[in-house]
Structure formats: C-alpha cells, structure tokens
Amino acid sequence: MKLKIVVDPALCIGAASCVTVSPLFFQLNDENKAVVIDNGSAVAPADRTYERVVEVDEEKKAEIILAAQSCPTTAISIFDEDTGEKLFPA
Amino acid sequence: MNVDYLIIGAGVAGTTAAETIRARDERGSIVLVGDEPHPLYSRVMLPMVVDRRIPAEKAYLKTDEWYASARIEYLRGRRVSALDAATHRATLDDGTEIVFGKALIATGGRPKRLDVPGERLDGVYRLQTLDDATAVRDSVRGPAVVVGGGFIALEFVNGFMHYGLKTTVCLRNHSFWSRHLDATGSALLERHLAAKGVKIMKDVVPLAFIGDTRVEGVKLSNGESIPCASIGIGIGLEPNVHAADTVARSAHGVLADEYLTTSAPEVYAAGDIADFEDVLAGHRHVLGNWMNAKEQGRVAGLNMAGERTRYERVSSYSVTALGLNVAFVGDVGSEGNETIARGDGETSYASLIIRDGKLRGGVFLNRVADRGPCAELIKSGKDVSAFRKELADTNFDLKSLLQ
C-alpha cells in the first residue's frame, strides 16, 4: 500500500523521535528538521523533502504510524494515499 | 473501587501506557489518575505556547472525548496519596480506596525549588505545565533573569529574548550543564548567547527574590542585586515519590528493572520517575525526556497487558538556543567515563561518552548530522575503542563505523 507522509517543518523541533522509531523513513536535515526518505534512501544534509509518498507493507505502516505518534509536537501526518484517509492524527 | 489497571500519573508515560493496554486488552478496566485539570498535552510544545507560535489548544494531544471512547476512567485533579503494593490497594487524596490488579507509577517529577524568600511572587515562573506556559505568555515583562543552565533554562532564554527582554542567566556552577557539558562545549554556547545579547553570570545563586506582589529584583550570592520583572527558574526536577511508599526506591526515583517492573511484581514504573536498568547504558538511571517517557509508557503498558518486552531505546532530547542546536543522545552522564572531543568548539562540537570500549552517549552542539549515526552506534553495542582518532575527527563520517 502507499502512504503519504507529511512533516510540518514549522512544528518540527528536531527531537528525532521519528528517526529513532523509523530510521528508514525519517532523517534530520542540516536545519535539524525531519525529512521523509524512501525506505532508507540516501539523504543529503540540505534535503527539504517534508512530504513523500512511500510504498510499504503492514509492518512498515505500523512502524511509521508509531513514529508519527511518538512526535512530541505532532508535526507528522500520515495518509493512506489510495483512499485519502488520514491515518494519523486521527 | 476495583480496577484491573491503575495508572498513577496522566502525563505522556501514563497516558501512553493506558492507551497501549487498551489496544491489547479490550475488557480490562483502566483508571488513570492525574493531578492536572487538562487532557494530555505536550510539554515539549510549551515553549511554542510561550512565544505564541501556537495557541495553547494546539498543545493538546488528546481530547476529553478520547478518554471516554477508549474507556479509560480519567480522575483529574487527583493524586494517589498512598500505595500498598502487597495488598494491591491505593488511596486517593480525597479518601477514595482503589483495589488494583496491576499498577503503574508514572508520577514524574516537580520542578526543584530554590527555597529562597520571594519564590512565590508574581513574575517568578516555572515551565512544566500548560498553565505555567500561558502565565509566562500573558504576563512576562523585562528585564528578565533566568536561573539555571539546562534545557528549561534555555527555553526561558528563548522565550524572554523572543519578547525582546534584557535577559541575564545565572549559573550555579561555571558552565551550562555542568555535569554533562565540558568547558569547550559550554564556552561555545556561552559565546553564542553572549553574541545575541544575553548576559551570563557564573558561580552565583539567588539568595532572595525581592518585591511586594510582583518580583522587582533578585539578590545574588556574590553580593550583587539585579532589578528584574520576570524570573524563569529551570534547575531540574525532583521525583514525585509520594505514591511509592511500599516499593523500593533510590534518591532519584522508583527502582525498576529492564522490563520496568518495580520491587513489587505487579507494580511498574515509567517516565521521569523510573530509576530503571538501562541495558544500553549498562547501569541504572533516570532519563527525564519526552521520548523516554513515551516509549517507557508503551513498554510498561505492553508488559502490564501480559507481554514481556525489555525497554531498549536510545532516547534523545534537544533544544535550539537562539539558533544553536544542543542535543543529548543516550547516556550523557560523563562522570567517571572517557570522553572524546569531536571538533574544536569553534562553531560546532560534540563530546562522545565511552565506557567499556562502547559508545554510550553524546552531547552535540550544532552537529545535527552526527546524532543519527551516534544513536545507531550506541544501539549496536559495537566496540569503538580502536577508533578514538576517527571519532575525534569531524571529517570522519560516523556512519562508516556502522558497516
């Protein structure tokens, strides 16, 4: 399935809990903001990809939602790209 | 009252535990006791409330309806005044008796007091609760003084400087985070703040806050008195151990093993109150950060619902102080450990903490790119003792040690 992951850089404070929970989909950039990467894809320090659609299985989906839930500033939103349903925040 | 699960403390650890239990156990009764009037909110977002980046409502992580829909009975404005682990009984401050199956102590801490005259004057602020944050936002004025040299103290600096207030920081010791940051790291932070106009005073403590209803000044241990209209105090937390009479505890909190079980088999501890066995650090300690509290709440909830999961997370926390990022990753207690300085401290710096040949933690100043690899290295448990020179070299990519 496809998920759309969106980070709000205005809310992100670089706590990096998402990176800790799901390092294959989140990394910090040189502004200390979380950017969305594609299943471990390389990330440049200057990357500004705050939104990305990724292909995942159930296990990775659960991990990504856990990462979004772990964010202390609710900077991460997750959508089911196929149905448009907002999976987090509910 | 009889409940299957009693959760003491409705902060992020307690609420996450309740939510996790509900996802595993549809039918068990859950009572959550918290001493604040609010649904769960993010303490991490309080600085955003102070400087009006967000309205206070935006800091809420749960709605009133959520508790009902998850069938979690949330007793607000209540504390547990006694807990007897042997008989599975707890008493609330209003006299209510609760007989529980399993209990979680997640009472966190309260801001340490200075115990000086005038500490309750208007304009003397803490920054732990949503009400603290709105009070600063609505009534702050200059000149301002910050007491302390840690995360909360730096959030006060950010908030006061946001409002253009003349700001003076009083450090009890000779540096910021005197137990975690070395002289080079503190000097970098001090230069940065000074360049932005913050005045820093060292080796001073307040002896008294002066004023009638609102604070008008502070008398310091070096004989000076500074006029001020606002004081932000961030000198750390002391553990709320009042609900833990019959479980083993230390000076720092409630003792817990790596499964977050206390000395009583059906009583657990999580978050800022837990002096837990950290398998990655190799010893017991309290970690007072959001990520740790959230994840411990989850693990304690899993175990209370019948799983057997060890807590194994490299938690981190960071503050951006007037543009300079400071991050703590893993176990940052440097006492008695080897530390490796990474960088010259001119514009960035890291202090890496090594014990038994393994990386255990790191303090990072403007070295965002090092944080992820550092966390992974800690988790891997790799012996890095042959790489001291590389760790100290900022041109060396820490990621290459992960291969």
CATH number of the CATH domain containing B295: 3.50.50.60
In chain A, residues with a C-beta closer than 8 Å to the C-beta of B11 are none
Q: In chain A, which residues have their Cβ closer than 8 Å to the Cβ of B49?
A: none
Rounded to whole angstroms, how far apart are CA atoms B16 and B56? Answer: 21
Q: What is the pTM of this model?
A: 0.94
Residue labelled with tokens 């060396």: B396
Is A45 within 8 Å of chain B by CB? yes
Q: Chain B within 8 Å of A23 (Cβ-Cβ)?
A: yes
> Taking Cα atoms as reference points, which of B43, B38, B110, B46 lies closest to residue B77?
B38
CB contact at 8 A, B272 and B108 = yes
Q: Is residue B260 located within the same domain as residue B361?
A: no
Chain length of chain A: 90
Task: Please say whether the beta carbons of A35 and A50 come within 8 A.
Answer: yes
Neighbours of B173 (CB within 10 A): 14
For tokens 């809310």, the residue is: A11
DSSP-based three-state secondary structure for B234 = coil
Indicate whether B79 belongs to any domain: yes
Burial per residue of B19-53, b for 16 or more beta-carbon CB atoms within 10 angstroms, e otherwise: bbbbeebeebbbbbbbbeebbbbbbbbbbbbbbee
First to last CA, chain A: 19
- Whether B54 maps to a domain, the answer reads yes
Which two tokens mark B157?
Answer: 């600096």
| 3-state SS, residue B345 | coil
Q: B243 with B228, same domain? A: no
> Residue B215: enclosing H or E segment and its boundaries?
strand B215-220
Q: Choose the final residue of a domain: B194, B210, B233.
A: B233
List all residues 6 or more positions away from A84 whose beta carbon is below 8 Å from its beta carbon. Answer: none
Contacts of B94 (CB under 8 A, 6+ apart): B78
Query: Residues B225, B181: one domain?
Result: yes
Is the Cβ pair B375, A20 closer than 8 Å? yes
Residue of higher predicted confidence among B242 and A76: A76
Q: Which of A30, A73, A74 sits opposite B368 (nearest CB)?
A: A30
CATH number of the domain that residue B388 is part of: 3.30.390.30
Please tell me whether residues B105 and B6 are part of one structural domain: yes
| Residues 340-369 (B) with a CB less than 8 A from some CB of A | 368-369
- At residue B315, the pLDDT reads 86
Q: CA B173, B181, B327, B283: dihedral to nearest 10 degrees?
A: -110
Q: Does A10 touch chain B (CB under 8 A)?
A: yes
Domain that holds residue B213: 113-233
The beta-strand segments (E) located in B224-348 are: 225-227, 230-233, 237-239, 254-256, 267-269, 274-278, 283-285, 316-321, 324-330, 338-342
Q: Which chain B residues are closer than 8 Å to A19 by Cβ?
A: 371-372, 375
Would residue B50 be called left, alpha or beta, if left means φ above 0 and alpha means ψ between -120 and 50 degrees? alpha
Count of domains observed in chain B? 3
| A vs B: CB pairs below 8 A | 70
Question: Would you call B144 helix, strand, or coil by DSSP?
Answer: strand
Does B155 touch chain A if contact means CB atoms closer than 8 Å?
no
Is cis: bond before B227, omega within 30 of 0? Answer: no
Task: Supply angle C-alpha B161, B162, B165, rounded to 5.
Answer: 45
Q: Which of B54, B314, B327 sits opposite A20 (nearest CB)?
A: B314
For residues B319-328, one letter each, b for 16 or more C-beta atoms within 10 angstroms of the residue's C-beta and e for the rest, the string is bbbbebbbbb
Chain B environment of A31 (Cβ under 8 Å): 368
Same domain, B195 and B224: yes
CA gap B215, B196 in Å, rounded: 25
pLDDT in tens, chain B (403 residues): 999 999 999 999 999 999 999 999 999 999 999 999 999 999 999 999 999 999 999 999 999 999 999 999 999 999 999 999 999 999 999 999 999 999 999 999 999 999 999 999 999 999 999 999 999 999 999 999 999 999 999 999 999 999 999 999 999 999 999 888 999 999 999 999 999 999 999 999 999 999 999 999 999 999 999 999 999 999 999 999 877 678 999 999 999 999 999 999 999 999 999 999 999 888 899 998 999 999 999 999 999 999 999 999 998 889 999 999 999 999 988 677 899 999 999 999 999 999 999 999 999 999 988 998 999 999 999 999 999 999 999 999 998 998 7
Query: Which of B203, B233, B263 corresponds to the end of one domain?
Result: B233
Claim to verify: residue B155 and residue B180 sit in the same structural domain: yes
Domains and CATH numbers, chain A: 2-85 (3.30.70.20)
Q: Which residues of A touch B43 (CB under 8 A)?
A: 72
- Closest Cβ–Cβ partner in A19, A32, A72 for B325: A32
**Residues B130 and B219 both lie in one domain:** yes
Q: Is residue B125 part of a domain?
A: yes
B317 in a structural domain = no
In Å, how far are A17, A79, B112, B166, B294 from B134, measured between CA atoms? 26, 32, 20, 20, 24
Of B279, B270, B258, the C-alpha closest to B102 is: B270
In a domain, B347, yes or no: yes
pLDDT (tens digit, 9 = 90+) per residue, B73-129? Answer: 999 999 999 999 999 999 999 999 999 999 999 999 999 999 999 999 999 999 999
| Chain B residue with minimum CA distance to A14 | B318
Q: Are residues B97 and B16 in the same domain?
A: yes
Residue B132 has a pLDDT of 98
Task: With respect to residue B316, please indicate whether it lies within any of the assigned structural domains.
Answer: no
B105 and B248 housed in the same domain: yes
- Which of B196, B214, B233 delimits the end of a domain? B233
Same domain assignment for residues B77 and B125: no
How far is the alpha carbon of A84 from chain B, nearest alpha carbon, in Å?
23
- pLDDT value of position A43: 84
- Asked if B28 and B93 sit in the same domain, the reply is yes
Chain B CB within 8 Å of residue A73 CB = yes
Q: Are residues B223 and B117 in the same domain?
A: yes
